[in-house]
Amino acid sequence: MIENTGPKATRKLQFTRHEGYRVMEKTNPNEQMTGCENYFEQWPSPMTQAMWEQHVTPMSSITTYYGPFFYWLCRIIGATRAMEIGIDMGWSTFFMASACKDEATRRGGEYAFYGCDLCDRNHIVEKAAERDVKITMLEKDSLDLKPEDWNHQKFHVIFQDGYHSTEYVMDELEILYPYLADAGQGYWIMHDVYSHCEEAFPKVMEKYEFEQVRFFSNYGIAILRNMKNYDPTIVRWPQGPEQPAYPHGDKLHGGKETV
Amino acid sequence: MSIADMKLQDDRMFQASPAPIWESVMRDHPGFINHTCPYLGPMLYWISRIVGAFNTLEIGVAQGYSSYFLASGVKDNGVRYNQSGMYYGCDVVDRSEFLNPLIEMGLPVTHLIRDSILLTADDFDNRPLDLIFQDGFHNTDHCLQELELFYPMLKGKGAGYIVIHDVYGPCEEYCNAIVKDPRYEFEFIRFLTAYGFAILRKMEGYDDRKYWPEGDQKIAVY
């Protein structure tokens, strides 16, 4: 076993070496999926197993793939501030909170992850704390959330998966949308858009400025990007219209030279 | 630099900035991290699992970073749902150095060494595609030709997805054009980082019916 002595390491990672990359020691003490101890023997999936092994709970059979997906989504947008409404067993919670932490570690700076639930989920907070992953638990009705709860700062990601009544979903958006990063930099995730939240989804799209994509599986999920204050006239690639990929002009565009 | 050197470089990064979840998914990767879009590779695996991709096309293999994740997604979906599938990696350059190790690992990989716009449905055994990752030659006209070619091969009815890299980079003009083009029906989302990428869902033939049990929403009170 080799001990990580990296300057920013906040815990001692245990691993063995395997053809270049380290194999992280399995640290999840839980069964693989509740009621399904040998899930990976039946359905081998090294990637899923690798991520579950670093988690602190069993896999969720409802959001099996969405939980890990959120880790990468948070990493890819550089999220360091996120909230989840509806913690349940903590599958997506730990992934999102870990992503915020890992982003903060990589870039330097603070991170904050808030979990809102009516029920006591402190056992998840404690398990995460054992891995130095910080979760601030807001044990209250989401409609009682106040900006003071998160120091009035904006979120990069909000995952909405609490009570799925349409009115409730809309009211949660009323409270939290102003605190979602705008200009195309904040993402709102709705679970169950092909089930309980199917009615709410078009109302959300009608009322707010989002671009979005949905997925069918596991009751459906929608990823929505906050386009409020987004400037579509900005051309980001170097100096306006696309520059040819090659330096000496582009035959398909008439061989025009560009700076 | 050799693959081993690149892995050591990644190793130093993980020691300086620990990220056990990320590092855990790299343990079997025969290549190394693409630091241009380090998170997009693993994310493609989960998109593949979420959409249940059995037939996936990647245009532009490069050093095979995302190829490993896409091919793993196809294999694991096949195991889970007892179906066969294939990852097709298209590149004008022979990328066997990076794709052969995936085949040796037992991943379902077909390497198509040719210009993407010369591909035909026969190359995919006439199977409809579930997922396309478009990251080849980024010239707008070339990308438009690729879409014209592959759009009919992509599953419709909201079941087929295209991920386009560099939509806030060299493919910005292309992406802006296709989302307004009436020939194509997509819902889509973009991400700003790593030169940008977009996820597009083919909505042609999508039935805008109610999916939740019997029409109107049934949950209102506990």
CATH of A56-226, one of 3.40.50.300, 3.20.20.70, 3.40.50.2300, 3.40.50.150: 3.40.50.150
Of A6, A78, A244, nearest to B15 by CB-CB distance is A6
Average pLDDT over residues B153-177: 95
pLDDT the model gives residue A95: 97
Sequence-ordered strand ranges (E) for B77-206: 86-91, 109-113, 131-134, 160-165, 186-191, 197-202
Average pLDDT over residues A6-21: 52
Q: Torsion angle of alpha carbons A252, A253, A254, A257, nearest 10°?
A: -120
Strand A21-24 vs strand A14-18: parallel, antiparallel, or unpaired? antiparallel
pLDDT at A257 over 50: no
Distance to chain B for A150, nearest Cα, Å? 25
Confidence of residue A239 (pLDDT cuts 50, 70, 90): low
Which tokens belong to B85? Answer: 């599938």
pLDDT at A56 over 80: yes
pLDDT at A172 over 60: yes
Average pLDDT over residues A188-192: 97
Distance to chain A for B150, nearest Cα, Å? 20
B55 has which bridge partners? Answer: B86
Average pLDDT over residues B85-102: 97
Which of A3, A242, A251, A253 should be substituted to probe chain B, the one whose Cβ sees the most B Cβ atoms within 10 Å?
A: A242
pLDDT the model gives residue A156: 97
Euclidean distance between CA atoms A65 and A89, whole angstroms = 15
Euclidean distance between CA atoms B95 and B60, whole angstroms = 10
Which H or E run includes B59? strand B55-59
Which tokens belong to A135? Answer: 């979760």
Euclidean distance between CA atoms B37 and A75, whole angstroms = 11
pLDDT the model gives residue A62: 86
Identify the residue with better confidence: B118 or B3.
B118
pLDDT at A119 over 70: yes
Euclidean distance between CA atoms B205 and B157, whole angstroms = 5
Of A19, A217, A243, nearest to B50 by CB-CB distance is A217
Q: Which residue of A has its CA nearest to B12?
A: A6
Confidence of residue A3 (pLDDT cuts 50, 70, 90): very low
pLDDT at A253 over 70: no
User: Residue A217: its chain B contacts at CB < 8 A?
Assistant: 50-52
Are A214 and B19 within 8 A, CB to CB?
no
Of the listed ranges A161-170, A172-181, A230-239, B96-105, the least confidently predicted one is A230-239
Query: Whose CA is closest to A78, among A49, A60, A61, A101?
Result: A101
Euclidean distance between CA atoms A42 and A125, whole angstroms = 31
Average pLDDT over residues B185-192: 97
Of B79, B137, B196, nearest to A44 by CB-CB distance is B79
Average pLDDT over residues B73-95: 96
Confidence of residue B97 (pLDDT cuts 50, 70, 90): very high
Using left for φ > 0, alpha for ψ between -120 and 50, and beta otherwise, residue A151 falls in: left
pLDDT at A244 over 70: no
Strand, coil or helix: what is A187? strand
User: Residue A4: its chain B contacts at CB < 8 A?
Assistant: 15, 18
Strand A157-160 vs strand A136-138: parallel, antiparallel, or unpaired? unpaired
User: Residue B9: its chain A contacts at CB < 8 A?
Assistant: none
Strand, coil or helix: what is A234? coil
pLDDT the model gives residue A237: 78
Q: What is the ipTM of this complex?
A: 0.94
Sign (positive or negative) of CA dihedral A91, A93, A97, A103: positive
Which of A42, A74, A213 should be substituted to probe chain B, the one whose Cβ sees the most B Cβ atoms within 10 Å?
A: A213
Give the phi and the psi of residue B9 in degrees, each rounded to 5: -65, -45
**Mean pLDDT score across all residues of chain B:** 93
Confidence of residue B77 (pLDDT cuts 50, 70, 90): very high
A25 close to A181: Cβ distance less than 8 angstroms: no
Residue span(s) of chain B under CATH 3.40.50.150 come to: 34-202
What are the extents of the domains in chain A?
56-226
Average pLDDT over residues B132-142: 95
Average pLDDT over residues A85-111: 95
Confidence of residue A34 (pLDDT cuts 50, 70, 90): confident
pLDDT at B140 over 90: yes
Are B76 and A45 within 8 A, CB to CB?
yes
B34-202 has which fold?
Rossmann fold (3.40.50)
For residue range A155-164, list pLDDT tens digits in order: 999 999 999 9
For residue range B22-62, list pLDDT tens digits in order: 999 999 999 999 998 999 999 999 999 999 999 999 999 99
Average pLDDT over residues A94-117: 96
